[in-house]
Amino acid sequence: MEFLATAFTDPTFLTYFLLALAVGLALGFEFVNGFHDTANAVATVIYTHTLKPTPAVVWSGIWNLIGVLTSSGAVAFGIVELLPVELVINIGSSAGFAMVFSLLVSAIMWNIGTWYLGLPASSSHTLIGSILGVGLANALMGPDHSVTDGVNWAKAQEVGLGLLISPVVGFVAAALLLITLKILVRKPELYRAPVGKTPPPLWIRGILMLTCTGVSFAHGSNDGQKGMGLIVLILVGILPGTYALKMSADHETVAGLSAEAAQLSSVFAAESDGSVIRGREANDKLAAFLKPSGQPSAEIFAALAGATADISVRLKNAETFQALPASDRGGVRTDLYLVSKTIAKLDKAGRLALDPEVRAAEQALGKHADALTNYIPDWVKYAVALSLGLGTMIGYKRIVKTVGEKIGKDHLTYGQGASAEAVAMGTIMVADHFGLPVSTTHVLSSGIAGTMAANNSGLQMATVRNILMAWVLTLPVCIFLGALLFAGALNAIALLGFR
């Protein structure tokens, strides 16, 4: 006990303890995501006897891994954009840790609860609701008590629209695909339910294996990114000297970024009548601008001029990021993050330069800054993929049973399973392209319901009502949990003496 008391008064020990706990929670979220969401991908192959449960979940786990490893990171950092900007740039603070702990614990609690009841609720909705709760609590506990600035409402609306539309797309598209299949592929065996435990004909097994593979890959490439973005944020906050920047960037990239920043600093200064604001004051003004209520002004261009000048000066004599002093890397990342997001917001508001060449140069600087800060280390991808795969293998049965047996009144046919999974695969991949997090659970379970309706199989309304109730309650419950846990975590971390 004396050892523990001494350890928790040591700032270094406390920092690494919180780091391990935060990363563990993020991987725990992905583990729960595995048996909660990924289980949907194997439901059709198991209930049509295309594969036995063990090889099915192993196969799905492998393709989840491949999906995670080949993902672009767009969804990961789309989730991060929902977080309050002041917590993102100060993620290593007590408030930053409280944010990570509360949103992850909230999401895990709701996911485990709905999994226990066998309800295919959405891990995407769960995490986003928790993020909204943290943002609102952070705003209400701040000096201004402004709810409007607590959340990136524009990004939340964009994400929410994707989550609302995707189940409708799943239901309608899967129903239409099944009807189209019946017209074009006149093979009666495709539209029959399995007899006993006899596997389907080889050609049908091939179709179902293909759709299961596609959904597993798409799920890994979309859902797997949510945990990755949070883990990277945690690493940046605790170990900025190692993870703040893409350390593999070569000399040409770093030198080019420095030259771009120097050139555009004078352009931005001209927009503010020659004024330049530098250092911490510039960062504070840009962070305030990135809140929903922030408006373009001469001061913002002056701060942008100062931030780009700071980037240029810091990188001017550095051959690579490795040559940059470790103590400077976190500051460079903050400047790059604020500059890239400010340029994106000004571009959206039509406030970048009127000259096409200058505007293109400003946009290019934002993209280059993003590329050097929005990266995911390979080991993080492997850890998330392993967590997803293990979760699928260990706890898949409850969700699989609901999807396979309890949505429709009749047993799932081969054609229904293939149609629902093909639509889910396509919907998730389109969402990936646009960097939007969608719910594998929503798309696939609504797709199964759509095929049951199209096949006149009937729906088990009690199950459908329970699923809809879980969908409706997920956001408000997780917003409440996220806010409550954030306030509690903030006080607990403060009592430990962490700042």
In a domain, 38, yes or no: yes
Q: Give the residue with greater pLDDT, 36 vs 423.
A: 423
- Whether 5 is in a domain gets the answer no
Using pLDDT thresholds of 50, 70 and 90, give the confidence band for residue 38: low
Q: Is 60 exceeded by the pLDDT of residue 130? A: yes
481 has pLDDT over 60 = yes
Token code pair at residue 90: 């100060």
The residue that leads in pLDDT, 66 or 434, is 66
pLDDT at 281: 92
Range(s) of the domain holding residue 277? 249-373
Overall number of domains in the chain: 2
pLDDT at residue 9 tops 60: no
Domain co-membership, 88 together with 194: yes
pLDDT at 304: 93
pLDDT of residue 202 exceeding 90, the answer is no
Residue 409 lies in a domain: yes
pLDDT, averaged across the chain: 83
Q: What is the pLDDT of residues 45-83, one digit of tens each?
A: 887 888 888 888 888 888 888 888 887 777 777 777 777
Residue 4: predicted pLDDT: 46
For the segment 123-129, the average pLDDT, to the nearest whole number, is: 81
Q: For residue range 294-312, list pLDDT tens digits in order.
A: 889 999 999 999 999 999 9
For residue 159, the model assigns a pLDDT of 67
Reading the block at residue 452, the tokens are 């049951």
Same domain (yes/no): 289, 165? no
Residue 89 shares a structural domain with residue 181: yes
pLDDT at 384: 86
Q: Cα–Cα distances in Å, from 156 out to 80, 128, 444, 468?
A: 11, 8, 23, 21
Average pLDDT over residues 244-266: 90
Q: Is residue 90 part of a domain?
A: yes
Instruction: Assess whether 270 and 336 both reside in one domain.
Output: yes
Instruction: State mean pLDDT over 436-449.
Output: 80
Q: Same domain for 120 and 87? A: yes
pLDDT band (50, 70, 90) for residue 343: very high
Judged on CB neighbours under 10 Å (0-12, 13-18, 19+), 82 is: buried
Q: Span 104-127, mean pLDDT?
A: 82
Same domain, yes or no: 254 and 310: yes
Residues 6+ apart with CB under 8 A from 64: 34, 38, 216, 217, 219, 220, 224, 385, 388, 389, 392
**pLDDT > 90: percent of the chain:** 16
Tell me which residue of 8, 56, 64 sits closest to 382, measured CA to CA. Answer: 64
Clarify whether residues 337 and 369 are in a common domain.
yes
In the predicted structure, residue 137 carries a pLDDT above the cut 80: yes
User: Domain for residue 281, yes or no?
Assistant: yes
Query: What is the predicted pLDDT for the residue at 234?
Result: 84
Euclidean distance between CA atoms 482 and 488, whole angstroms: 10
pTM of the full predicted structure? Answer: 0.80
